[in-house]
Structure 1
Amino acid sequence: MKLTDIKNGNLSAEWAEKGYELPKFDVEAVKSKTHAEPTWVHFGAGNIFRAFPAAILNDALNSGKYDRGVIVAESFDYEIIDKAYQPYDNLSLLVCLKSTGDIEKKVIASVTESLKADYSFGADWARLVEIFQAPSLQMISFTITEKGYGVAPADLERGLTPVLAMGKVTALLYERFKAGKLPLTVQSMDNCSHNGDKVKAAVFAYASKWVEQGLVPAEFLAYVKDETKITFPWSMIDKITPRPDAKVQKMLADDGFEDNYTIVTEKHTFTAPFVNAEETQYLCIEDHYTNGRPPLELGGVLYCDRETVDKIEKMKVCTCLNPLHTAMSIYGCMLGYTLISAEMADEDLRSFIQKIGYIEAMPVVVDPGVLNPYEFIGAVINRRLPNPFMPDAPQRIATDTSQKLAIRFGETIKAYEARGLDKSNLILIPLVLAGYARYLTGLDDNCRPFEISPDPLLAELQAIVAPLKVEAGEQDFSCLKALYSRTDVFGVDLYAVGLGEKIESMAKELFAGPGAVRATLHKYVKAR
């Protein structure tokens, strides 16, 4: 069983017998229609794209109510196109791993072309220019991570041949401008707050510089700023798509599915002809389009206004998901866990995040009205995090923790202040922040070294806690004031809001020698 069997039309009953869902639409007809009248180009050919946006479109195509696919363009790691797309005629296998133990296997055939978004690949770039000149094009979208929206001064000086993703996109928008100032929506689907504004700021930066350099007319800048022509909607996306998992590979091999191997590129991208992903997913998009859009609601996308997207984002990032993840990552690393699902079988850790969500965060949750916060947290705690099939690790989630704490916990503390709520009710959130100081020592609960996840402030913050020892007895904890007064890390001066001393006191307990992490966690979770 190979994906190319589907390409060649050599299908057998074996696929159905082994639970593989095949496309219900005419793949070649959709490909032909899309080539002639493209509507959607997506930048970012990674796993999240195939498991989510492409899969949503696949569902819309299976409904028989739409007839156009998506063209994917990769602007960073071109090996993905060479090794994970083109050998399989852009088909892939989505393996959906459910917390119940059920597994869904679905062939995704909605991607009709895969292109390398760079001038050095002449034919691919020419095809992208042709697509951007097409009046039928409605939307371009992105899953390139927040770093992909960066603008470097050196790149701005390269003129109309930049190397960064946003520069290339702006160059393609210039082609659309020259084709008659055609309308288009520029849609981020990346997991970062107010993501549409990040795309907009980058495009405006390139367009402004090019006008200043005399490379493009001022009308081009006016065009990208004209919301009747170009829009940059916000969105909220949520779905976990880990690297290809060995257990999934074996399961596919046992089925007789031969395209089951992992591909590792020179840029250290882990991909495969298949994607393993969790079942739960959310994609909420601001419905602000200038040239129509693909009917992604057929695949479950929730369209709403900007205010609602913002509320959904805050609900997820500040209260109902991301803070729970971070709490689990800090304590999971110290307690020796390597799987999030295994942490959920730990009574102390499960109660820890459950009480953070339902008791401490819920009083300030922003209810978006279209997604129930209690149901959202319930899905997180009961289906998503305990999923034994999801090989997600606290070590991965702990990456860049210093950049996350201000949003994931600082915003809740600010909301308590703004609403006049009693901050003495905050017990487990302070325990998370106390745990961060202990985490920075790089010693687990048995005082054995563990590898701290990458973080841009790691060396600086470790230097603050360096005087502290993990041992019983008296020691001077005054160095912690230099940590917990950092508004850049926590979003607030924790002493100024009346929580610094409480957090220091908890930290002292966590530093009291081997076993102190478990004992302190158990004590406060039980008391809460």
Structure 2
Amino acid sequence: MTIPAALPPVLALPAYDRARLTPGIVHIGLGNFHRAHQAVYLDDLFALGEGHDWAIIGAGVRPADAAMREALKAQDCLSTVIELDPTGRRARRIGAMIDFLPVEHGNGALIAAMARPEIRIVSLTVTEGGYFMDPAGQLDTAAPDITADATHPEAPETAFGAILAGLKARRSAGIPPFTVMSCDNLPGNGHVTRQVVVGLARLFDAELADWVEANVAFPNGMVDRITPATGERERAMAAAFGLDDPVPVTCEPFRQWVLEDHFPAGRPALEKVGVIFTDHVHAYETMKIRILNGGHAIIAYPGGLMDIELVHEDMEQPLIAAFLDKVEREEIIPIVPPVPDTDLEAYYAVIRARFANPDVADTVRRLCLDGSNRQPKFIVPSIRDNRAAGRLPKGLILLSALWCRYCAGVSDSGAVIAPNDPNWAELTLRAQRAKDDPAVWLAMSEVYGDLGGDPDIVVAFAHALRALWANGTRAVLTDYLAG
């Protein structure tokens, strides 16, 4: 890619000599979030003149990743990251990645790269739903991709199979194992990744599984930055900075990364650029998942039913903003455990401002995506904790009814809602049945567990769902806020 000779002064280029970088990390999954988060932190560190042996080699394991590789290789693996601050956009070229491996069946190039001694961390962003976990929180050994990797471990198709092949190659060569660092938005992401990697190994090589369990580090981490999908709007933003980039990333100014300091093979000094290393990752994670991710769901489903397109437009609706405030302050924040050096009400104020940022233009549809995977992680635990405290969280139960009503596939106006969940067909059938028999929805044990049998929840849910069908979202929110 050709960079114009005279760039706008608000575009920042890498403040270091990229030719002097050497790789220390292989990262699997070069989506927008990674390029606006982990890669930005490393870019900041390199600009301090430190950590130049921790550059990233990018990788992908899905056929769709090949298009990203082609786009990034054409511009020397540079990523455009545009911060969407309401006071003024800022763009920078991130140079932390120095190569992108071929995307191929069997992942030979990826396995070979992970076997190199200088690679000390393998990180990944494969989305919350990409970990092959069953409803009980265990590895889904019947998943076709897992079965295929267990049958042909020498030519794996998943990131986890490739990681195992890389670790096995290092063990055979007498090279210490790399650290496996999940950067996905999962509770206990390190524990989950360990469970998947070790569980897959046990399907074909018990000795390898034992070795991984005893020798490989899987630190937990909490990550946070809103990064909308890339479309024509985002490409036009890059063009305004003089760049012809087909895959720019836009993001909010806020970012946060909290990590366990468990890197036996070494790590970059990321604490120098704002990463928090702590033994209390779980506390930060619970705060973020309950308040931010739970908050996303609270505003998303009423917005979707009211035909609202953008998240900041949700926040401009007094009913939705008040619904968010009431549920957060009465049913979520009071049951979030204390977090070191953090005022939860102040944290929520920041979250609320982030949701209202008009320049981000995040979509309600994106927040509604994959509810069957997100609800049991982001909402149901708060319901459960309230019940354990002797409270009936009517706002969170109403949110479950809003999700059910959304999954019926039409908004309050009658507009068709396009499929928006990997299990959309099943959810739609169940939501339509729940119109007459609300308990059918709560019977999804993979989402609600035993809460579906709680008689108080059943009654409250049925009342909310029937009211939504009879009166519509605006009327139901008005009644809820009136008490």
TM-score by length of 2: 0.89
Letter of the 2:16 partner, please give it: F
Q: Output the CA distance in 2 between the equivalents of 1:245 and 1:208.
A: 42
Distance 2:444 2:59 in 1: 41
Give distance in 1, aligned partners of 2:89 and 2:263: 36
1:462 correspondence with 2:429: yes
CA, structure 1 residues 246+433, in 2 after alignment: closer, same or farther (shift >3 Å)? same
C-alpha separation in 2, matches of 1:140 and 1:78: 17
How far the C-alpha of 1:485 sits from its partner, in A, is: 4.4
Contact 2:59–2:100 at 8 Å: present in 1 too? yes
1:443 to 384, 401, 410: 410
Change (3 A) 1:285 1:72: same
Q: 1:56 aligns with which of 41, 53, 56?
A: 41
Structure 2 match to 1:519: 475
Judged with a 3 Å threshold, the aligned counterparts in structure 2 of structure 1 residues 343 and 226 are, in CA distance, closer, same or farther, namely: same
Could you list the structure 1 runs, at least 4 aligned residues long, displaced by more than 6 angstroms after superposition: 119-122
Closer/same/farther in 2, CA of residues 226 and 102 from structure 1, 3 Å limit = same
Determine the C-alpha separation between the residues in 1 that align with 2:443 and 2:68: 47
Note if contact 1:233-1:287 (Cα within 8 Å) is conserved in structure 2: yes
| Contact kept? 2:29, 2:60, Cα under 8 Å | yes
Give yes or no for contact 2:148–2:156 (8 Å, CA) kept in 1: no
- The CA distance in 1 between the partners of 2:219 and 2:123, in whole Å, is 10
Can you list the C-alpha shifts for 1:144-187, whole angstroms capped at 9, x where unaligned?
A: 22444336112211132222221111111111112214142111
Comparing 141-150 with 451-460, greater Cα deviation is found at 451-460
- Cα distance in 2 for residues equivalent to 1:485 and 1:251: 46
In structure 1, stretches of 5+ residues that fail to align are 6-10, 213-217, 262-271, 469-476
Distance 1:161 1:252 in 2: 39
Quote the Cα distance in structure 1 between the aligned partners of 2:187 and 2:243. Answer: 39
Q: Is the 8 A contact 1:41 1:71 kept in 2?
A: yes
Amino acid in the other structure paired with 2:196: A
Unmatched runs of 5 consecutive residues or more in structure 2: 133-144
Query: Is 1:102 paired with 2:88?
Result: yes
Partner of 1:431: 398
Q: What percentage of aligned pairs have identical amino acids?
A: 25
- The two structures have a TM-score, normalised by structure 1, of 0.82
Correspondent of 1:129 among 112, 128, 153: 112
1:329 corresponds in structure 2 to 300
SS in 2 for 1:443: coil
Q: CA 1:241 to 1:483, structure 2 compared with 1: closer, same or farther past 3 Å? A: same
Query: Following TM superposition, by how much is the alpha carbon of 1:58 offset from its aligned partner in structure 2, in angstroms?
Result: 0.2
Conserved? CA contact 2:123–2:183, under 8 Å: yes
Specify the code of the residue in structure 2 equivalent to 1:279. P
| Distance of 2:395 and 2:128 partners within structure 1 | 29
Q: Which residue of 2 aligns with 1:265?
A: none
Aligned-pair CA distance for 1:414: 1.7
Q: 2:274 aligns with which of 300, 322, 329?
A: 300
RMSD over aligned Cα atoms: 2.5
Contact 2:27–2:57 at 8 Å: present in 1 too?
A: yes
Answering whether residue 462 of structure 2 is matched by residue 504 of structure 1, we say yes
Tell me which amino acid in the other structure corresponds to 1:380: I
**Counterpart for residue 244 of structure 2:** 259
The separation in 2 between residues aligned to 1:157 and 1:430, in whole angstroms, is 43
Deviations 1:487-511 (A, max 9, x none): 4333443552523222322323222
Kept in 2: contact 1:177–1:223 (CA 8 A):
no
Q: Is the 8 A contact 2:407 2:431 kept in 1?
A: no
How big is the shift at 1:458? 4.2
Contact 1:410 1:492 in 2 (8 A): no
Structure 1 partner of 2:140: none
C-alpha deviation, 1:331, in angstroms:
0.7
Alignment match, 1:88: 75
**Structure 1: which amino acid aligns with 2:391?**
D
Residues 141 and 82 (structure 1), Cα distance of their counterparts in 2 relative to 1, 3 Å cut = closer
The answer to whether the 8 A contact 1:409-1:490 is kept is: no
Cα-to-partner distance string for 1:109-140 (whole Å, 9 max, x where unaligned): 11112112546686x45xx5265231x43211
Q: Call closer, same or farther: CA 1:152–1:360 in 2, change over 3 Å.
A: same
Residues 81/65 of structure 1: CA separation in 2 closer, same or farther (3 Å cut) = same
2:420 pairs, out of 449, 453, 465, with 453
Q: Which residue of 1 aligns with 2:125?
A: 143
